[in-house]
Amino acid sequence: MGTVYNYSPFNYKIIRRKRKTIGIKITEEGEIVVISPLNIDKKVIDAVVKSKEKWIKGKLTEINEARLTHKSIEFKSGEELLYLGENIALEIFQANIMDSSILISDKLMKVFIGSNQRSKGENIRDLVINFYKKEARRIFLERTIAYKDIIGVYPKRITVKDQKTVWGSCSSKGNLNYNYRLLMAPIEIIDYVVVHELCHLRHMNHSKQYWGVVQSVLPDYEERRQWLKVNGNKLRI
């Protein structure tokens, strides 16, 4: 939801929430979303958007270039997918089993199609995405457990979602949300997002104190953060 406004040379959407600062996000589809405090005047928002015009244009250019270079996946044997930062080849087998399954071994993703899947007409893309989501939950849970005691925080719930504009989020109730597509990134990038969200349980902002905690856990966090900014558009299937 949100109201769409025109600001030459592009349109943007404003979403008002209970927050103190104005944020700007660009979706994979090239939509510009401004997250604003509830009572901020639109003239102030316009001024912020104008100040970020160069950055916005640069991000839109990156997205358009990614669209041109991104090869559409047909989910056939021989195609490659990203998994934990590596290219793995897809192999599809008709198996004498009831339920379909997926196994990753030696840089191969083996999809065994069972009779139930064939009768229901489910497509391979759905099977692969569901596998990614399941694996993402397992890995994010492992990495969260590994870092929570180091940071000294205790999240209440971990959820894996398909989010368009964010890689992770932390609620005021202590719940963490992660984007399943991060499973395509190297583990050190996953760790960055995990630490990023866990640190919000200590500081629900991006203050100097917040980034100080992140740096104390991951001294090279800026490099990992930059990798995600540059390569995030490639993490999709």
Instruction: List the chain domain ranges.
Output: 3-69, 80-234
Local confidence band at 130 (pLDDT 50, 70, 90 cut-offs): very high
Q: What was the pLDDT predicted at 97?
A: 75
Write down the CATH number for the domain with range 80-234: 3.30.2010.10
To which H or E segment does residue 201 belong?
A: none
CB 186 within 8 Å of CB 230: no
Q: For all residues of the chain together, what is the average pLDDT?
A: 86
SS3 211: helix
| Verdict on whether the full-model pTM lies above 0.85 | no
Question: Does 83 score more than 80 pLDDT?
Answer: yes
Residue 5 has pLDDT above 80, yes or no: no
Helix, strand, coil % over all residues of the chain, rounded to 5 = 45, 25, 30
The pLDDT > 90 percentage for the chain reads 43
Tell me the per-residue pLDDT of 165-177, one tens digit each, with 9 for 90 and over.
689 998 888 899 9
**Selection from 209, 196, 217 nearest residue 150 by Cα:** 217
Q: Is 215 helix (H, G, I), strand (E, B) or coil?
A: helix
The torsion angles phi and psi of 221, rounded to 5 degrees, stand at -60, -30
Residue bearing tokens 């995030």: 232
